[in-house]
């Protein structure tokens, strides 16, 4: 099993804390991007995004960012469905994929992992609310669960959801994960990273 880079147990969001999810996401990316040129596909661009802030913070001129958003935004932006773009584009030029999902990242991650133009790249992901059984049913189908089984076992997925997520990534040859685990009153949020090498 993969080992956590860090594991933070945090208070409920309304309780003051010295470590916010935004800081954790920034720290994860800052520690792992390296010094060379970076071409980022931000698949869930919103509210200014993490990468422009990180680029400014690190004083990096060699970071190129392409954003996907449902509404027109600033910078170089594709407007529309992120899954459709990821499935249809030649992604061979991208070295980083950011999947900072507000819920399940399954659809976009699946599109990235199944797009054969993706070669060597880092993938940052956010997986929210999985203690509440927040795994996408299609991910469970990929793992061999039937619709009947998914309906029956969803209430008991709270403790095994992240293990199932790691098992699903393993089907694509992903053997190592680094991640932060954040615990709230509504469940857990995982902010993590893995590499694709083909």
Give the angle subtended at the CA of 180 by the CAs of 93 and 85, to the nearest 5°: 30
| % residues pLDDT > 90 (the chain) | 34
The structural domain count of the chain equals 1
**What is the model's pLDDT at position 196?**
95
Q: Is residue 128 part of a domain?
A: yes
- Could you read off the pLDDT of 144-195 as tens digits, one per residue? 989 898 888 777 776 788 888 889 999 999 988 888 887 766 667 788 889 9
Assess whether pLDDT exceeds 90 at residue 121.
yes
Q: Is residue 12 part of a domain?
A: no
Q: Is residue 189 part of a domain?
A: yes
**Which of 71, 63, 24 lies closest to 46 in space, CA to CA?**
71
**What is the model's pLDDT at position 186?**
63
Q: What residue numbers bound the domain in which 136 lies?
A: 21-193
Any residues with CB less than 8 A from the CB of 86 and at least 6 apart, and which? 41, 43, 68, 108, 111, 112, 115
Q: H/E/C letters for each residue in the chain?
A: CCCCCCCCCCCCCCCCCCCCHHHHHHHHHHHHCCCCCEEEEECCCCCCCHHHHHHHHHCCCCEEEEEEECCCCCCCEEECCHHHHHHHCCCCCCCEEEECCCCCCHHHHHHHHHCCCCCCEEEEEEECCHHHCCCCHHHHHHCCCCHHHHHHHHHHCCCCHHHHHHHHHHCCCCCCCEEEEEEECCEEEEEEEEEECC
Assess whether pLDDT exceeds 90 at residue 1.
no
Q: Is residue 130 part of a domain?
A: yes
Q: Is residue 7 part of a domain?
A: no
Q: Is residue 172 part of a domain?
A: yes
Q: Is residue 15 part of a domain?
A: no
Give pTM, 2 decimals: 0.86
Residue 57 belongs to a domain with what CATH number?
3.40.50.150
- Could you read off the pLDDT of 62-87 as tens digits, one per residue? 889 999 988 776 667 898 999 999 99
Any residues with CB less than 8 A from the CB of 102 and at least 6 apart, and which? 44, 126, 128
């Amino acid at each position: 099993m993969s080992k956590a880079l860090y594991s933070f147990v945090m208070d409920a969001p309304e309780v003051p804390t010295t470590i916010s999810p935004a800081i954790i996401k920034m720290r994860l990316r800052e520690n792992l991007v390296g010094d060379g040129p970076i071409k980022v596909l931000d698949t869930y661009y919103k509210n200014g995004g993490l990468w422009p802030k990180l680029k400014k913070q690190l004083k990096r001129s060699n970071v190129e960012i392409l954003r996907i958003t449902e509404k027109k935004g600033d910078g170089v932006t594709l407007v529309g469905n992120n899954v459709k773009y990821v499935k249809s584009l030649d992604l061979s030029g991208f070295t980083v994929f950011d999947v900072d999902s507000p819920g399940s990242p399954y659809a976009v991650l699946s599109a990235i992992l199944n797009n054969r133009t993706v070669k060597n790249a880092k993938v940052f992901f956010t997986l929210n609310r999985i203690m509440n059984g927040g795994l996408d049913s299609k991910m469970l189908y990929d793992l061999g669960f039937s619709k009947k089984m998914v309906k029956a076992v969803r209430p008991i997925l709270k403790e095994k959801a992240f293990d199932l997520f790691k098992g699903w990534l393993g089907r694509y040859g992903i053997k190592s994960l680094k991640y932060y685990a954040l615990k709230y009153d509504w469940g857990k949020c995982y902010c993590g990273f893995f590499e694709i090498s083909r």
